[in-house]
Amino acid sequence: MLAYQIPTTVRSIHQDKILSLRQQTQFLWEAYFSSVEKIVLTTLEIIQDRVLEHGSRSSLMWNGHPGGLFALPQYSGYLGDFPFFYAPLVSHACRRRSSEIQ
C-alpha cells in the first residue's frame, strides 16, 4: 500500500524544496565525494571527530558551505568564530527564539 503513495508524495513536494535539495546534494558532492582524495580526507576527518568528541565539528559545519574540511575544530568550537557560518547560526537562533515566544 505504501508503494502506491510514493509517487503522489513525491509530486506534492514544492519546486523550491526540490531546488534546495538539489543544491545541497551538489554541495555535498563537490565538498566530500567528487574525488578519491576528498573521500579519503572526509573519512579520516569523520573518524577523528568520532574519536575526539570534545573537538568535533557540528552538523552545521559539515552540511553548510564551505564544509567541515575547511573549518578546523582546533581553532574554535564556536560557530560564530567562523565568518562563513555566522549567517546560518544567526538564522537558527532567530528561529529558535521565535518558536519560544509562540
Residues 41-91: tens digit of each pLDDT: 999 988 888 887 776 777 767 777 667 776 666 666 566 666 655 555 555
Contacts of 88 (CB under 8 A, 6+ apart): 60, 64
Q: What is the mean pLDDT of the chain?
A: 76
State the Rg of the chain over Cα: 17
State the total domains in the chain. Answer: 1
- Can you give the residue range of the structural domain that contains 94? 2-101
Asked if 45 and 74 count as a contact pair (C-beta separation under 8 A), the reply is no
Asked if 60 and 89 count as a contact pair (C-beta separation under 8 A), the reply is yes
pLDDT value at residue 36: 96
Report which of residues 32 and 52 the model is more confident about: 32
Q: Cα–Cα distance between 45 and 32 in angstroms, integer?
A: 11
Q: What does pTM read for this prediction?
A: 0.56
pLDDT value at residue 40: 94
Residue with the three cell numbers 500500500: 1
Q: Cα–Cα distance between 31 and 33 in angstroms, integer?
A: 6
